[in-house]
Structure 1
Amino acid sequence: MKHCGKGVFLRPMSCDIKGVENLSVGDGTLIPKGCTFYCTRAELRIGKKVIFGPKPTIITGDHRIDIVGKHIIDVTDAEKLPDQDAPVVIEDGCWIGANVTILKGVTIGKGSVIAAGAVVTRSCDPYSIIGGIPAKLIKMRFTPEQIKEHEKILNER
C-alpha cells in the first residue's frame, strides 16, 4: 500500500483490491469484507475515521472504447488517454453506505454520508448527504454554524 494508517480494519483476503500501490488509508478507517477497490494509474485516498457499509466499489479509471479494430479488452494501459484515470478521494469522517459505487475523479467531502446503493459520479461538498443513481444532494448534515462548532470541537480533541 502507498499508506496504511494506525488502527485500520481491513480484511484483505475477502476484498478484491487491484493497484494496491496507489491505495492510501488513514487512521481508524474501517473497510468491510466484500470491498472492490480498483486503483488504476490514479490514486484512491481514503481519509481518517471513514466507515463503509458492506460491499463498496471504488474504481479510479475507465476503459478506452474508441479504437477501431480492437476489442475493448485488447486495449493496453499504454493506449489509455490521460483523462481515463482520475483519483478518488474520500475525506475524513465519511460514512459510505452499503453497495455504494464511487467512480473516477470524485472527491467525497469531509464528514459526508453516501446513501446505500448510490452511484457517485460527481464530487460532493463537505457534510453532504447524497444518494441515488446518479447520486445527488439530498441535504446537508449541518448548518454552516453547526459545521463551525463541529469542527471546533473535533480540533480540540
Structure 2
Amino acid sequence: MKFHGKHVVVRPMSSLIRGIENLSVDDYSILPSTTTIYCTKAPLIIGKKCLFGPGCTFITGDHRTDVIGMHIYDCNEKRQENDLPIVIEDGVWCGANVTILKGVTIGKDSIVAAGAVVTKSFPPYSIIGGVPAKLLKKRFTEEQIQEHERLMSDYEKN
C-alpha cells in the first residue's frame, strides 16, 4: 500500500484489489470482504474512520472511447483524464454495493446510500443516493454543522 494508518482493516483474501501501490487508507477505516478496488495510475485515498458495506467498488480509471477505427479492447493508449483520483474524506459511510468512479471526492462525514453509483463529487455532510448518485439532502443545518465541528474538535483533542 502507498499508506495505511493505524487500526486499518482490509480483507484482501475476500476482496479484489489491483494497484495496491496507489491505495492509501487512514486510521480506523474498514474495507470489508468483497470490496473491489481498481487503482490505475491514479490513487484511491480513504480518510480516517470511514465505513463501507460489503460489495463496494472503487475504480480510478477507464478506457478511451474516442478512438476511431479501433475497438476499445485494442486501444492501450490513455489520456491523463482517463485516470483520476478518488478521495473519500474522513468519517464517510458507504452502504452495501456502492460504486465510486474516477475523479470523485466524497466530502467528510457524508453518507452514500446502498447501491449508489457515484460519478461526481459531493461536499461534506451530504446524503447521496441513486444511479447516478445525486444529493438527497444535507445531514445537518449550517448551525448543526458548526456545533458538530466544535464538538468533534473537542473530542479529537482528548
- Compute the TM-score of the two structures, normalised by the length of structure 2: 0.95
Partner letter of residue 53 of structure 1? G
Q: Which runs of 5+ in 1 are unaligned?
A: none
The Cα shift of 1:154 comes to 1.1
- What is the percentage of aligned positions where both structures have the same residue? 63
Between the aligned partners of 2:82 and 2:124, the Cα distance in structure 1 is 25
The Cα shift of 1:36 comes to 0.5
Q: Deviations over 1:109-145 (max 9, x none)?
A: 0000000000001100100001001101111111111
Select 2:143's aligned residue among 139, 142, 145: 145
Q: Say yes or no: does 1:102 pair with 2:91.
A: no
SS at match of 2:17: strand
- Compute the TM-score of the two structures, normalised by the length of structure 1: 0.95
The Cα shift of 1:63 comes to 0.6
Between the aligned partners of 2:34 and 2:144, the Cα distance in structure 1 is 35
Select 2:152's aligned residue among 147, 151, 154: 154
Between the aligned partners of 1:94 and 1:44, the Cα distance in structure 2 is 14
Between the aligned partners of 2:114 and 2:36, the Cα distance in structure 1 is 15
1:27 aligns with 27
Partner letter of residue 142 of structure 1? F
SS at match of 1:149: helix
Between the aligned partners of 1:136 and 1:69, the Cα distance in structure 2 is 35
2:60 aligns with 60
Select 1:87's aligned residue among 80, 85, 91: 85
The Cα shift of 1:70 comes to 3.0
Partner letter of residue 106 of structure 2? I
SS at match of 1:58: strand
SS at match of 1:17: strand
Q: Deviations over 1:31-55 (max 9, x none)?
A: 1100001011111000000000110
1:70 aligns with 70
1:37 aligns with 37
SS at match of 2:6: coil
Between the aligned partners of 1:47 and 1:96, the Cα distance in structure 2 is 13
CA RMSD of aligned residues (A): 0.9
1:133 aligns with 131
- Name the count of aligned residue pairs: 155
Partner letter of residue 91 of structure 2? G
